[in-house]
């Protein structure tokens, strides 16, 4: 049985950037085969500039994958028109809405799974040469969750992926990552937050007038 490859899930924020640089310095082993950045095409330009810089610092390749523009996808609303069961509407982002009966609500969020997790898994499957129906681990996926985010740790739903959290193994918090980067002369990464994903809040408690994304109340 072949040895699983190690892939770093690179969000280009503080923790995953620190993890990538630590791997490059040999402080986390083994050296990853590659890193993968899931591009929503809705990131601040500062994030893309940082990623361009970071790629040059790493001895392993960074693959950029994308499903397309999250900005465009946010405007799509799916509705069930069948008469069986309750009617529903669905969007990719947690848009605040005003229901037909006047009550306020919020739509479910699917952007992280559709535009990030699925794209990462597709590339990991490709890089690891994973066969259909494979149940043995072929990819060890490094995730940059730090000790102060331990509640976010989750096992992979895919049997061929084993998630690993090197920063938690090293008992490092986000602040520890920043201190490590400063101690090694690296600049501070910008905040990675898609322009539409600042977890949309209602402004002054006012809900949208209609169930449509163009009527979102700003961030």
Cα–Cα distance for residue pair 105/121, rounded to 1 Å = 32
Give the CA count within 13 Å in the CB-facing half-sphere of 8.
32
5-72+110-196 is classed in which CATH architecture? 3-Layer(aba) Sandwich (3.40)
CB 9 within 8 A of CB 16: yes
pLDDT score recorded for residue 72 = 55
Residue that is written with structure tokens 């090694």 in the block: 184
Cα–Cα distance for residue pair 99/88, rounded to 1 Å = 11
Residue 37's contacts (CB-CB under 8 Å, 6 or more residues apart) are: 10, 11, 12, 51, 62, 63, 64, 65
pLDDT score recorded for residue 215 = 38
Q: What is the pLDDT of residues 146-163, one digit of tens each?
A: 999 999 999 999 999 999
Spacing of C-alpha 140 from chain mean position:
17
The closest of 53, 60, 67, 61 to 12, measured between CA atoms, is: 53
Cα–Cα distance for residue pair 20/39, rounded to 1 Å = 17
CB 45 within 8 A of CB 194: no
Domain residue ranges in the chain? 5-72+110-196
Q: What is the pLDDT of residues 100-129, one digit of tens each?
A: 777 876 655 545 656 578 999 999 999 999
Considering just the CA atoms, what is the radius of gyration of the chain in Å? Answer: 20
pLDDT score recorded for residue 122 = 96
Q: What does pTM read for this prediction? A: 0.73
With cut-offs at 50, 70 and 90, classify the pLDDT of residue 213: very low
Q: What is the pLDDT of residues 29-47, one digit of tens each?
A: 999 999 999 998 878 899 9
């Amino acid at each position: 049985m072949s040895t699983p490859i190690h892939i770093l899930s690179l969000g280009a924020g503080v923790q995953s950037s620190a993890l990538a640089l630590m791997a490059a310095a040999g402080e986390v082993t083994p050296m990853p085969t590659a890193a993968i950045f899931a591009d929503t095409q809705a990131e601040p330009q500062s994030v893309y500039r940082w990623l361009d810089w970071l790629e040059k610092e790493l001895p392993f390749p960074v693959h950029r994958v994308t499903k397309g523009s999250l900005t465009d996808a946010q405007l799509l609303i799916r509705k069930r028109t069948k008469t069986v069961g309750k009617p529903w509407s669905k969007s990719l982002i947690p848009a605040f809405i005003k229901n037909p009966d006047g009550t306020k609500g919020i739509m479910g969020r699917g952007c992280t799974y559709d535009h990030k997790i699925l794209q990462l898994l597709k590339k990991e499957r490709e890089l690891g040469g994973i066969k259909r129906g494979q149940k043995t681990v072929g990819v060890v996926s490094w995730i940059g969750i730090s000790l102060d985010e331990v509640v976010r740790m989750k096992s992979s739903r895919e049997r061929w992926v084993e998630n690993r959290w090197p920063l938690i193994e090293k008992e490092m918090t986000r602040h520890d990552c920043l201190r490590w980067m400063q101690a090694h002369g690296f600049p501070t990464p910008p905040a990675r937050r898609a322009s539409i994903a600042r977890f949309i809040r209602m402004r002054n408690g006012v809900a949208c007038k209609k169930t449509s994304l163009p009527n979102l109340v700003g961030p």
